[in-house]
Structure formats: C-alpha cells, structure tokens
C-alpha cells in the first residue's frame, strides 16, 4: 500500500515485546503503525533465525527512487521504498525482509505490503521488536522476484545507554544546479570509521527539495553553475523565470527527480534519516498556507495539503496525520479561501487554513541513549507573518547600505504591540524621518506558534537527557554589523546604532527567542544546544537573548550547518556586488585576482576589520581592530560554506564538526566525494546551573582565517 496498512499478513514470534520499561502489546504496536500510515512487522523473539526463502534479484530500475529508513527507536524503525506499477490502475505487492546480515541468512521478520497509485506507489513498513543499538539490513521484492537495492539501518540505543552519540545534520540540497558531493564524503568517512565513531542517523533540517525549478532553455546558468534538466511540472505555474508546483502530482514529481540523484539515494540507503520540512517543501516565501509571489500574498490551502501529502509519501518519518490507518493520505478537502482573521498569536483562523496545517504534524522528539534528546520543531506552518517582510519595513533600509536593516527598528516591529512594555511608539526614527510604526497594533512575532511552543518548552523542561538538542530548521544566532563605526569618508549610516540583516528566523525574532531562553535560564536547564540549517552558511556560537549594549548572558550553544549544495549569499555577492561600491570592502576583499568573503569578518569583527583587511591583506592586523561588542556570541562564521556537520555528544562534552567541501558545482568522480576546504571542531563541556556555557574550536585541516 503506499504508506499504509491494510489487511497484511505479519509473521511474528510473540504478542508483546519489551525494551527497558516500555512494553507495547501487539495491538498497541499495530495502532502506532496505523497512526503513521505504515504496514506493521514484528521481529522474532530469541535467536531463532531463518534464511530468506524469497527469490530476489536486484532490479534497481524497478525501484528508481531507492530505499530509505527513518526515525529509529530502540525497538523499531520505519522502512520505505517506491515500486511504480505499470499504470494508474495497477496494484503492486511487495515482500519486505529485515535481517541481521547483509546476505539475509538471519531473517528477523517479513511483511507484505500493497502499493497503489493513491500514494504514488510508495510503501512504509514499521518494524518492531528489534534490538537497541543494532545494525539491520532490509530489502523489498515484488511477486516476480524483482528486488530493490539492499538498505542498511540502525536502531537507537536504549534510553539508559551511556555511550557517546554521533549523528550528522544537513540542509538545503538543490539538484537543479548543484551536486550532492557532501553525501558521498559522509558515506566514505562513515565506512572507514571505527565502530564507535560511525553515525547513528542523519538529521535533515529541510529544503530536501526546492520547489522552485528553472528550465535550462529559459535560464542556462545560475552564477557559475549550469542549470540541469530536473523536472517539468505537468500543472505548474511560472513566476519570473522559474516554475512552481500546483498539484500533488507536481510535488511528487520533484521528489522523484531529487531521489534520482545517486549520492542522495546512496545516503538514504546507508543511514537512517530523521527529517523535517523547511520552506521549500511547500513554498519559498510561504507561511501557514499562504504563498507570496510577485509581491502578492495568496491563500493556497490546496497546495499546502498537496505539499504535505507528497512529503508524507516520500519521507519515512513518524509524523501524525488526522486520518490514521487509511490506505492513502486522504488529506482534508480544502478550498483556497482568503484568510482575513488571525488570533492573538497571528494564526489564521480560517477553517481551510487550519485544516491544511493540521493535515500533517511534523514536530516531534527523538531519544538517543542517555545523552541526547532531539526536539524537532516546524518553523513554517504556524508562524505569524514576518513583520520585516512588509513593504513598510523598507523604510528602515538605505540604498547606500545593501543588506542592512536598522536593528533598533527590527526589535520594535518584532515586538509589535508588546514593545516598550506594551506602549509601542507611534513612529520609529530612522535618519531624518519619523517612520510610522506599522506593527504597533500587531502581536509579537512568533515562529513556533502558541501550541507548538508550549509543547517545545514542556519537552525541554521534562527532558532528562544530558543534552537537550533543539532541531530548528532555521538559525537562531543574531546577524548584525556596526556601520556606525564606518570611517568619516564612507557613507553615513542613517540608523542610531547597529544594523541587522532582516528577518526570517529566530535571529530577529527577539521576543520569542527571549521567551525561550528565559525559560531555559529560569528552569536551570543545562546542556541546551541548537542545531539548524537554512542560512546556507556555517555558524558556531552561544545562545543569548541579547547582545551589547544590552546584557549578554548565554544559556546554551548554537550551530548552523552550511548548505549541501544550494548557492548562498557569497555567490550572489561575487556576481552582483558592484566593484566600485564604497562599501564593497564590507562584503568582498579583492586580493590576487580573487574575491574573498569579507562578509564573514563583517559579521564577526565589524567594519574596521573589513577595511583594514581590504587595504593590507594582513588578517592579524585586521582582527586587531575587531569590535568586541559586535558579536560576542559568534565563534565561527562562513557565509559561503557547503557540506555537513557532525555532532558527538557524551556525558560531559558536546562537539560539532564542520566538514566543508568546495563549491559543489559538478558531481565528484571519486569515492570520497572530492577534496575538503576545511574541517573544524567546536566543543563545549557540560555546564552546571548558574554557569555560562563556553565554546572552543580546533582546526583539523584547512585555512579558516576569514571565518574565526
């Protein structure tokens, strides 16, 4: 069945299974499987194994999107494949086998599944009764003996397992004009690692697909990249020079296209994945069920449901849908209706909007041994409108200062009617103008939404894991510059102090971020770490609600991983920033015929460092002019980095390793995925209540002078 349970023969050796103190009956386990739309399979008890009796011949052409596993627990894991039928009326029957060995001589369970066009011939099998912290192999076979490739998966360790945990986190893969070399490097390093150093899972923090697709004949290149033929939307819609999906078949088509990438497909077969969506799984500038294109916001409840359905069908994840146990997604019947009323938190209360958002719930928690609880949140479905996305916010920018937004104004409009202790100013001063405060009657911005935020805070408070890790698809660290320190012969910054870089994540959602961090401090929560993506850049730093001149008091550590392959701001600057602009030194340094990313220095050290580096090329001399009040929260920033990050969490230490690769324009031809730019490890030791977290970094290889 697609992802779903129907009348399924299940072989199992017992009616219950037990891990630690958790005990589920067979009926309860079947209920869990049905709730996430999966076939159920139980492992045999004891050490009595059987050799496979299934006639299996590998036919990867019959399973063009490969296999995958997801959301491991100590006793179970979710398996996935797609085996398309001959036509829309076809019914495909598969046998799923799970074994303790790659030759399938020790089968632990089998299950039968029925696939139909209703779920695009995808299949999900929830396998229970497994042993914790074990390696398993799985495969699928049709009734004619045509078999999938063999997949490898792992179960989570038991909750009391004291061993260190290692996992990778990634985001932002673009197959339209990028190569997924980072996955090849990840697999290569994992296969040669010692058993205790191998990865337990890969956390994908969104932008698994980019719904924006360019056609090569309309745009042959993107910066230095060649636009590849990826997918043609049957019912898509064109904006400017790109196309977007409008139906579930369109969204399905782009998932299939991405999964034809060999490196992504190999990674999904080698590691269990834990996935959550970001914006591009639905819509680039979208929020709730609204889309924004061509300067117009439109209700798109049907597209939101379609996007959720395709995500559900193609990602093996234990996420909730309201119609548990059906043989296909069967999303709610919604209409595209204008959303005119919003509650006190900015949530549109129009019933079609609520139905679309509730068609799939992605936020959830994953426990991995004694030391890790991963708490994953959805930053797109419940957020209020970004106040810095309003046209009126342009009044806080200056054409002479590209990228910059007045930071004091950012704070005021973020707070809405709660600004100034509930007495928001009617106007905001910027330069010589008193700009009307368009947000003074609006609620403070929320990215999590009220219900999800309450759940998140409760999970943080209740967690007994050593490290409480917030899996946030978007960044939390402030991005700011100090244009007030520009030399006298430079353009004059019209703001009253620091400059921000606009909105979109918790880096400028000051009120909500402060609420979360105050909660962490108030409840003496230690081991609080945030891992994120979305920014297409590597960041390491400290989690603090405020920066100088306000009180700077970190409550945790925070990391952002570079994009796997999607281009970022450095590429844009290289191609678009005017060479004669008086502020070019803040963004790019021209040395030896090369454009270096001075924006890293701007964000970390400030404008004086940038101008000195542009003039002398002496990085030590430039850093001696660092503004220490600008970014005391930042330890490392690379706005042009691609690759992935690896967490190692133990009883007293938390390490995050940035593995940065060269710009992935073409697919690497080597087994290791190609060379590395750098490898850096950022570390903190577990702090006690009342202590402040601290970071230290160690460069393993490469030159990171411009990033530190």
Which residues share a beta bridge with 73?
76
Give yes or no for a contact between 638 and 621, defined as CB atoms under 8 angstroms apart: no
Residue 417 backbone zone (phi > 0: left; psi -120 to 50: alpha; other: beta)? alpha
The answer for residues whose C-beta is within 8 angstroms of residue 7's C-beta and 6 or more apart is: none
d(CA 699, CA 400): 37
The distance from CA 124 to its chain's CA centroid, rounded to whole angstroms, is 22
Q: Which two tokens stand for residue 15?
A: 């009616």
Q: Is 300 exposed, middle or buried (0-12, 13-18, 19+ CB in 10 A)?
A: buried
Mean per-residue pLDDT pooled into runs of 10, the chain (708 residues):
28 28 61 74 72 94 98 97 96 97 95 95 95 98 97 98 98 98 98 96 98 98 96 97 98 98 98 98 98 96 98 94 72 96 97 97 97 98 96 96 96 97 97 96 97 98 98 98 96 95 95 98 98 98 98 98 97 96 97 95 98 97 98 98 98 98 96 97 97 97 97
Q: Which two tokens stand for residue 671?
A: 């087994």
Q: Where in the chain is the domain with CATH 2.60.40.380?
A: 1-161
Give yes or no for a contact between 613 and 705, defined as CB atoms under 8 angstroms apart: no
**Mind listing the pLDDT tens digit for each residue in 432-458?**
999 999 999 999 999 999 999 999 999
Q: Where in the chain is the domain with CATH 3.60.21.70?
A: 167-708
**Model pLDDT, residue 4:** 26
- Check whether the bond before 121 is cis (ω within 30° of 0): no
Interior CA angle at 596 toward 591 and 600, to 5°? 135
**Model pLDDT, residue 1:** 29
The answer for residues whose C-beta is within 8 angstroms of residue 578's C-beta and 6 or more apart is: 584
Q: What is the CATH number assigned to the segment(s) 167-708?
A: 3.60.21.70
* Single pTM value for the model: 0.95
CATH C-level class of 1-161: mainly beta
């Amino acid at each position: 069945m697609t992802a779903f349970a129907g009348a399924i023969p299940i072989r199992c050796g017992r009616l219950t299974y037990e891990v630690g103190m958790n005990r589920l009956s067979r009926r309860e386990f079947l209920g869990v499987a049905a709730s996430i739309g999966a076939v159920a399979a139980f492992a045999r008890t004891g050490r009595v194994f059987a050799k496979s009796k299934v006639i299996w011949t590998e036919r990867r052409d019959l399973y063009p999107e490969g296999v995958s596993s997801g959301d491991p627990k100590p006793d179970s894991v979710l398996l996935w494949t797609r085996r398309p039928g001959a036509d829309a009326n076809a019914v495909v029957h598969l046998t799923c086998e799970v074994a303790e060995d790659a030759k399938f001589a020790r089968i632990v369970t089998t299950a039968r599944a029925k696939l139909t066009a209703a779920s695009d011939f995808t299949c999900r099998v929830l396998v229970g009764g497994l042993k914790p912290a074990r390696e398993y192999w799985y495969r699928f076979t049709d009734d004619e003996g045509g078999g999938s490739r063999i997949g490898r998966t792992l179960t989570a360790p038991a909750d009391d397992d004291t061993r260190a945990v290692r996992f990778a986190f990634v985001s932002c893969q673009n197959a339209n004009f990028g190569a997924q070399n980072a996955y090849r490097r990840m697999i290569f390093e994992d296969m040669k690692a010692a058993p205790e150093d191998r990865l337990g899972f890969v956390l994908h923090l969104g932008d698994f697909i980019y719904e924006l697709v360019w056609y090569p004949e309309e745009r042959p290149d993107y910066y230095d990249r060649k636009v590849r033929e990826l997918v043609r939307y049957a019912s898509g819609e064109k904006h400017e020079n790109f196309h977007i999906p409008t139906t579930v078949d369109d969204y399905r088509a782009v998932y299939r296209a991405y999964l034809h990438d060999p490196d992504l497909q190999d990674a999904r077969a080698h590691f269990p994945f834990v996935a959550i969506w970001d914006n591009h799984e639905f819509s680039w500038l979208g929020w709730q069920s609204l889309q924004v294109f061509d300067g117009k916001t439109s209700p798109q409840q049907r597209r939101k449901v379609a996007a959720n359905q395709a995500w559900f069908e193609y990602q093996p994840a234990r996420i909730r849908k309201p119609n548990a146990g059906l043989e296909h997604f069967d999303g709610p019947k919604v209409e595209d209706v204008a959303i005119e009323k919003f509650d006190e938190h900015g949530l549109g209360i129009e019933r079609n909007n609520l139905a679309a958002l509730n068609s799939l719930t992605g936020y959830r928690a994953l426990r991995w041994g004694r030391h890790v609880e991963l708490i994953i949140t959805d930053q797109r479905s419940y957020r209020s409108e970004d106040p810095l996305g309003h046209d009126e916010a342009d009044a806080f920018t200056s054409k002479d200062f590209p990228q910059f937004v007045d930071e004091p104004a950012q704070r005021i409009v973020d707070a809405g009617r709660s600004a100034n202790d509930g007495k928001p100013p009617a106007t905001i001063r910027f330069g010589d103008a008193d700009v009307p405060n368009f947000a003074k009657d609006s609620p403070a911005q929320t990215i999590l939404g009220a219900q999800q935020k309450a759940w998140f805070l409760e999970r943080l408070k209740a967690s007994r894991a050593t490290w409480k890790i917030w899996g946030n698809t978007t960044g939390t660290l402030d991005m700011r510059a100090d244009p007030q320190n520009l030399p006298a012969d430079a353009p004059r910054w019209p703001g009253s102090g620091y400059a921000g870089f606009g909105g979109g994540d918790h880096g400028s959602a000051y009120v909500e971020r402060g609420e979360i961090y105050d909660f962490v401090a108030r409840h003496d929560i230690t081991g609080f770490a945030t891992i994120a993506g979305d920014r297409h850049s590597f960041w390491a730093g400290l989690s603090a609600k405020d920066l100088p001149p306000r009180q700077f008091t970190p409550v945790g550590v925070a990391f952002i991983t570079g994009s796997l392959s999607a281009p970022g701001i450095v590429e844009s600057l290289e191609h678009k920033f005017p060479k004669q602009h008086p502020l070019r030194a803040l963004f790019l340094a021209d040395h030896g015929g090369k454009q270096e990313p001075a924006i890293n220095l701007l964000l970390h050290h400030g404008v004086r460092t940038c101008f000195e580096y542009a003039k002398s090329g002496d990085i030590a001399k430039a850093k001696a002019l660092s503004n220490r009040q600008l970014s005391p929260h930042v330890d490392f920033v690379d706005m042009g980095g691609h690759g992935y990050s690896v967490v190692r969490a133990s009883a007293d230490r938390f390490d995050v390793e940035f593995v940065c690769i060269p710009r992935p324009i073409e697919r690497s031809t080597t087994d290791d995925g190609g060379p590395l730019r750098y490898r850096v490890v950022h570390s903190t030791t577990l702090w006690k209540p009342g202590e402040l977290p601290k970071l230290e970094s160690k460069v393993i290889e490469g030159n990171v002078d411009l990033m530190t």
